[in-house]
Amino acid sequence: MTGVSGTGRHGVIHQYYQCVTNRKKGGCKKKTVKKGFIEDLVVTEIINTLTDDYIDDIACKISELSAREGNTDTVKRLRRLLKENETATANLIKAIEAGKAVDILSSQIEKRQLEKTDLETQIAKEKLINPVLAFDEVKFFFEKFKHGDVNSMTYRMTLIDTFVSRIYLYDGDDARLEIFCHASEKGINIPIGEPTSGSPMGQMVEISGIEPLTS
């Protein structure tokens, strides 16, 4: 479905979601649903979903995914070289302690230390490109959504963009709203039931007496 707007006979702007097929070609029997009502329903359901357990679970998954993606092949190679550098430096120090050529070995140690600094710099740059998100950081980010202003359009848009992957609205005997969140294969089903003035089915209308907005 896609968003549509129109003006009523008294100049009031009305906003709806309408089937794309119906809008472009006609023939679709799905009725248009009022935008405000359906979005209120989605926002309320998402906020109710944000329990402590849910936030902990999603924060853990994102943190683990971030750690895996941050450990790129380049980072692995640089860390391997860094470990080899540290081992070589330790061996040079042992050689000095054993009384071997101090001047030559000291020069080699200095060279290894410069290499180590360069490797650490490269690793830091790679981490900036693919930052690893800690569990507590992710949890703090999601907890802020629990107490947002539901009347704020910015909050509503951010909430939906962050958590909602897709939404399906079913008519008929199995009338329901199904919300799919990111990182979840299981949809949240909200039964609609018999049409009433306060239900989504009661908010579905045939667009009549509405004139398209003009620029």
**What are the sequence ranges of the domains in the chain?**
2-58+136-212, 73-129
Based on the number of CB atoms within 10 Å of its own CB, is 215 exposed (0-12), middle (13-18) or buried (19 or more)? Answer: exposed
Nearest to 177 by CA among 41, 36, 35: 41
Q: What is the pLDDT of residue 120?
A: 93
pLDDT of 8: 58
| Cα dihedral 38, 201, 167, 17 in deg (nearest 10) | -60
- Residue 7: the pLDDT is 62
Say what the pLDDT of residue 102 is: 82
6-40 confidence digits (pLDDT tens): 665 666 666 666 776 655 566 666 667 777 777 88
Q: Which residues of the chain have pLDDT under 50?
A: 194-215
Query: DSSP string covering 125-149, please?
Result: HHHHHSPPPPHHHHHHHHHGGGG--
| pTM tops 0.75, yes or no | no
Q: What's the whole-number average pLDDT of the chain? A: 78
Tokens for 106?
A: 């000291």
Please say whether the beta carbons of 23 and 4 come within 8 A. Answer: yes
pLDDT at 75: 86
* pLDDT value for 26: 60
Tokens of 181: 């969140």
Q: How much is the pLDDT for 89?
A: 93
Q: Are 4 and 15 in contact (CB under 8 A)?
A: yes
Question: Residue 27: which region, alpha, beta or left (left: phi > 0; alpha: psi -120 to 50)?
Answer: left
How far is it, in rounded angstroms, from Cα 100 to Cα 52? Answer: 62
The residues that bridge with 142 in the sheet, in sequence order, are none
Please report the pLDDT score of residue 201 as a whole number: 44
